[in-house]
Amino acid sequence: MAEAAPQHLSLPSGLLELCALLGAPRDSLRSLEQVAQKRGVRSLSSLDPEVLSVFVPPFISKEDSQGAGGNCATLGKGRRRSFRKKREKPKTEAWKGPPGDSKGPDYEDISIPGGVDLLALPQLCFPGGLHVTSEPKEDHVHFLVLTDVCGNRTYGVVAQYYRPLRDDCCFYSGTAHWEPSWPSVVGAAGCFVPFAVCVVSRFPYYNSLKDCLSCLLTHLKLCKEFEVDNHIKDFAARLSLIPSPPPGPLHLMFNMKPLHVVFPSRADPESPVIDLDLHLPLLCFQPEKVLQILSCLLTEQRIVFFSSDWALLTLIAECFMAYLYPLQWQHTFVPILSGQMLDFVMAPTSFLMGCHLDHFEEVSKEADGLILIDIDHGSITCSKSSDNDMDIPDIPFLVAQMFIQRVQRLQLHPELHLAHLSSSTDLNEGRARQRAWQQTLNSRIQHITLQLLVGIFRDVKNHLNYEHRVFNSEEFLKTRATGEQRFYKQVLDTYMFHSFLKARLSRRMDAYAQMDLDTQSEEDRISGMLISPRRLTVEKMASRKSSPLNITHRRMVVSMPSLQDITLPELPARNSSLRIMDTTGCRNSSPVLNVAPKSTYTFKIPEIHFPLMSQCIQAYHTNFVTRLSEAMSLLGPDNSLLLARYFYLRGLVHLMQGQLLSALSDFQNLYKTDIRIFPADLVKGTVESMSASERTQAERTPELRRLITEVLDKPGEATKADEAVKHFELPKKHMQLEDFVKRVQESGIVKDTNIIQRLFDALTVGQQKLIDPETFRDFYNCWKETEAQAQEVSLPSLVVEHLDKNECVYKLSSSVKTNRGVGKIAMTQKRLFLLTEGRPGYVEISTFRNIEEVRNTTVAFLLLRIPTLKIKMMSKKDVFEANLKSECDLWHLMVKEMWAGKKLADDHKDPQYVQQALTNVLLMDAVVGTLQSPGAIYAASRLSYFDKMKNEMPMAVPKTTSETLKHKINPSAGETGPQAIDVLLYTPGHLDPAEKVEDAHPKLWCALSEGRVIVFDASSWTIHQHCFKVGTSKVNCMVMAEQSQVWVGSDDSIIYIINVHSMSCNKQLTDHRTGVTGLIVQDGKKPSEVYSCSLDGTVLAWNVSTLWVTCRFQLPCCGLTSISLHSSSLWCCTGSSIVVMTTRGFLCQELRIDKELREAQTSFLGLQLLPEQGQLWTACAGRGEVYIWSLEDLVRAPQRIHLQDCSEVSCMIRVKRQIWVGGRGLSQGRLKGKIYVIDVERKMVEKELVAHADTVRTLCSAEDRYVLSGSGREEGKIAIWKVE
């Protein structure tokens, strides 16, 4: 077969896409000179600008590039056909420089970036027209945003400068100085013609490119007309050779002479480049106006900015785009319209455009329904033919006030910050000070605007169903206050919000999600672990009562003794001082995360020497690589953040040199160091463009061979196209069980599949197993009405005092007569109480824990028998009686279910039982409301799950288990069903300056199926970090390599390294070829060393700081499942033997499985070393025994400890002087997950713990004080056990 030819490699472009010189055509200038000499400048009309020259990289010829290196012929950019008009060669005229041949214009085929329209560019570079003046004007800059047909944006910076019509003069410091030999001619003409230099880049480097153009203009003003092109070409060549900085903290600096220009990097791969002053809108508009503009953007209005300064139009518009991040404006975005483009504002769809202030009246009269924003005067108006009132919906009141308060605290004036500093005598030093101040301010403004977006959309997640990608917009709107309805109705209908929903449903951990997590209250963290329907807690109820927004629009289910007049909270008066804002009055009400900007670093790019020949380019690249290598050698071993950026840049420069193998090596190191910025497509293109000899040479290196496999041969995880977001709709067809489960999950009522199956049985009792649309609609409405009523409950403060702050009222009866007064019976997750009528009061009925008996009976009244509920308490002699009449049967079912759930919760130390009982109770209520038939109570009883469990299987938790068990948590809460727990890891707390206080708490890492990891705060057992993924395969092992790193070994053969500060996985180690089965840290050694093993018998030793493999060896057998480290020896557990190796890979001894066990077809499952006792403890697959070997004589037959009623052992750990063995065995006639605690000295089972409903799959120790166990898929819970 013929070998495939190497493919063409398209390198990523540098900062420059295109540079153009624009101005008046030469013919027009000739005639202009004649008219000016005869009539004067005042009589001249404006000219039509055109593109005079275009400069597009690369700037060296093909022949030069071929001479520079063998591979350069395949490196470059794709080209499209387009034309550049060449300048006419100057004639022998005094004002046109040296003599030359006179030829007509010719054209050259060059490559023009797709987003640049050369026909429209002159209008945008001279948006106010090209006007000749009688005296030179000051140079000025403005900015462009160019969009191609695919919606891709490029960014332009335009610098306009003036030259005299005759070229015998030059400019110094912006002042015209004429040569004395031409006073009469110049005085006669007195014409100054504007020219523009436009730089187009793929990145919005507004400030940086403005600085670059400012440096260029100093040269253009001093040169002759015929030298202009050469200066601009040299300038463009410099920019084209500067790579764009990789995402992260490393900025690039380049000496443009006289300025040092800094090109900032984006914060992360998803965020935009911020190279502008984000406080500009706060200087132009009051905070209230800023909120109005943001409201217009969020509701996707037709918006036009106006200013007399062209530069401000783009800068202000781009600032607002940055305020919206991570939301993105997806409509037309043209921040500058020239006079000839004004008809664009007649477009019927949403847009954001900008016009000169001179056109304000014209636009406001001609176009209807526009939002007109005057930047110069800080005003907002609406253009309407019939009604001039503004129609901008208000952003929700509370978050708006928080935003205003935070903005008022900002220090927007650098003079105040820099006043105490001495004056800088160095230009670049002063600029560096200003840049640092601006970076800090930008960071704070981004933080404030992100907090605003989180405040606006935080509750959206409560109405999402992730499994079926459904958003219940109708229910979300019902939770909004009346004054917020119009805003949210408009926002929910926008493209921007639709994209936002896609990101939320895909669980994207972007800036918004991280801020939402960081600002989440402790109550919300706890609520995230609950599977019961959400209700207002007592604490939230109390805070809602003080909020005017929520009082006015809700009905009161419970009357209050007196309603205070509703008053809006007063905001702190704006401080007259611009330096310090007095925030004492609002600190408690509006918490602000005190976020300091992240540290940034600057790398100075080497200078580029001219003439621009291949030798100079190669020298520049060589110097670049040398500087990067020197910078890398100076880094500390733990500074992987900067190291990754240097690898990225050096790889790019090696590609530009044509050194593909060196580039591939750098990218392979980058892959290990920070996977987030790994350029997969570029690396794939690099491999495909290699010649056969290069490819062969690369594959000789194991690491490069693995990288090539990753990017080429291995398909990897397919990129999922964003699925459409569905809005919840009631069904229109009959549903069988499967469809019913899906519909209920979509509705957001319940997610648990087992509960929904019981609900299906309840709604179809005595009939065909189908749910008709009418029944589903009635059930849905009943559920939502009950939910709304619970949300509207407002308890008097006298009642609130008796309840815990996290209690919620889930059910209220109608007004009934009881033996303790007349009122409504209220049910929380903890108790029953009577809300007395008349003068509202609180009468305790009972906590569920205190109930001894619940009976449903009748009481005689005259000739009637009234259904009555009787509740007997353990601590009281009297019995509570309530004449509930028609509600009696339902309340009887509900109270018994809650009572049973509470008992199970207490017995199993698992609060999830109460939460699930609450769900069952509320579903019973909805079923009775739906069916409204004599059989409704019987149907509801099908949901009485825990009460039936208590009656049918009255199994008490063994005393030893109850005394040892401390708590249970459910990592699968909120999922459709329980998930098996594969690995548990406890990490102690460390007070690290890089962490927030809550991040310094101890943590429990829980690996679920398909590479999902959940992190709990081990000080409160609440979720610290919701599920994130490390690959898609099963996790086999986890270890804390150092305080900031957790290593995760996966079945996909990759070791994932998680940063415990950012909770992100940016590094991957890919040296194993099969599933990673074990990780062990060598304690006490600096730098730390980690040993990893894989199923094929490979053992690797890693330097934690450098992530380099320091040792590699292969066991003589496969099936390696775990390793342990003791006295510089590695004990490796394989299926048929335990192999002892030195840490350098030399075989010491081997323990083979004995004949009896071999005949039983079992294998070693795990081991624990007890060097103090000279013992090796092992377990075997499928056996209910533990084997103890003597370290002195491994040949001797082992001792056996029989584990009573144990069918198999699955895991084993050592804690103090105990061995904890997890597995499965019989308990009360049923298979359960069991733990056996064995005393290592007496070799006896001290405790037999009935741990879980399913097999104990994993065990871990928490500082030898607690042991944590994780169960299989049937239960999917974590148990926390006390160690004695």
> What is the per-residue DSSP string for 492-518?
TTSHHHHHHHHHHHTT---HHHHHHHH
Are residues 1036 and 1028 in contact, defined by beta-carbon separation less than 8 angstroms?
A: no
- The residues, ordered by sequence, that sit 6+ positions from 102 with a Cβ below 8 Å of its Cβ are 88, 89, 91
- SS3 string of 384-407? CCCCCCCCCCCCCHHHHHHHHHHH
Cα 22 to Cα 196: distance, rounded to the nearest angstrom: 5
Nearest to 154 by CA among 16, 338, 9, 21: 16
- The residues, ordered by sequence, that sit 6+ positions from 234 with a Cβ below 8 Å of its Cβ are 610, 612
Residue 1106 CB neighbours (<10 A): 16
Give the pTM.
0.84
Residue 1146 CB neighbours (<10 A): 10
Buried b (16+ CB within 10 A) or exposed e, 1158-1178: eeeebbbbbbbbbeeeebbbb
Distances (CA, A) of 813 to 116, 753, 890: 69, 29, 10
End-to-end CA, the chain: 71
Q: Where are the alpha helices (DSSP H) in 634-772?
A: 640-657, 660-673, 680-688, 692-699, 702-708, 737-747, 753-763
Nearest to 779 by CA among 931, 889, 919, 922: 931
Low-confidence ranges of the chain (pLDDT < 70): 1-8, 32-45, 60-111, 114-115, 166-190, 384-390, 522-536, 538-597, 713-722, 862-863, 953-955, 990-999, 1084-1087, 1154-1161
Are residues 193 and 163 in contact, defined by beta-carbon separation less than 8 angstroms?
A: yes
Provide the CB-side half-sphere exposure for 1224 (13 A, CA). 15
Q: Give the angle 385-387-388 at the CA atoms, nearest 5°.
A: 95
**Strand, coil or helix: 374:** strand
Structure tokens at 775: 């029944």
Q: Give the angle 305-311-316 at the CA atoms, nearest 5°.
A: 45
Query: What single DSSP character describes residue 131?
Result: -
Q: Dihedral angle at the C-alpha atoms of 213, 214, 219, 225, nearest 10 degrees?
A: 60
Cα 808 to Cα 78: distance, rounded to the nearest angstrom: 64
Residue 6 CB neighbours (<10 A): 17
Are residues 1033 and 1051 in contact, defined by beta-carbon separation less than 8 angstroms?
A: yes
Nearest to 116 by CA among 232, 206, 209, 200: 200
Query: What single DSSP character describes residue 709?
Result: I
Q: Side chain identity at 995, as an amino acid letter?
A: E
Q: Which residues pair with 76 in a beta bridge?
A: 10
**Strand, coil or helix: 729:** coil
Cα 50 to Cα 122: distance, rounded to the nearest angstrom: 5
**Strand, coil or helix: 280:** helix
The H or E element containing residue 242 is none
Distances (CA, A) of 227 to 22, 59, 941: 15, 17, 93
What is the DSSP pairing of strand 9-10 with strand 75-76? parallel
- Residues 694, 700, 702, 705, CA torsion sign: positive
The H or E element containing residue 305 is strand 302-307
Are residues 50 and 22 in contact, defined by beta-carbon separation less than 8 angstroms?
A: yes
Are residues 665 and 704 in contact, defined by beta-carbon separation less than 8 angstroms?
A: yes
Cα 1212 to Cα 431: distance, rounded to the nearest angstrom: 62
Please give the backbone phi and psi of residue 93, each rounded to the nearest 5 degrees, phi first: -125, 145
Q: Cα–chain-centroid distance for residue 622?
A: 38
Buried b (16+ CB within 10 A) or exposed e, 964-986: bbebbbbbbbbbbebbbbbbbbb
Q: What pLDDT does residue 1159 have? A: 56
Cα 152 to Cα 145: distance, rounded to the nearest angstrom: 10
Query: What single DSSP character describes residue 208?
Result: H
What is the DSSP pairing of strand 351-356 with strand 302-307? parallel
**Strand, coil or helix: 929:** helix
Q: What is the side-by-side strand order in the sheet with 153-164?
A: 50-55, 18-23, 192-201, 153-164, 140-147
Strand ranges (E), 1159-1282: 1164-1170, 1175-1180, 1185-1190, 1199-1202, 1206-1215, 1218-1227, 1230-1239, 1244-1252, 1256-1262, 1266-1271, 1278-1282
Structure tokens at 1069: 């180690």
Cβ-based burial of 276 (10 A; exposed 0-12, middle 13-18, buried ≥19):
buried
Q: Which residues pair with 818 in a beta bridge?
A: 821, 882
Q: What pLDDT does residue 872 have? A: 92
Strand ranges (E), 66-220: 75-76, 83-85, 107-109, 140-147, 153-164, 169-172, 175-178, 192-201
Q: Side chain identity at 554, as an amino acid letter?
A: R
Q: Is the bond preceding 258 in cis, omega lying within 30 degrees of 0?
A: yes
Cα 1166 to Cα 1131: distance, rounded to the nearest angstrom: 10
- Residues 702, 708, 710, 715, CA torsion sign: negative
Nearest to 431 by CA among 144, 281, 215: 215
- Residues 942, 948, 949, 950, CA torsion sign: positive
Nearest to 553 by CA among 645, 459, 480, 643: 480
Q: Cα–chain-centroid distance for residue 871?
A: 51
**Strand, coil or helix: 546:** coil
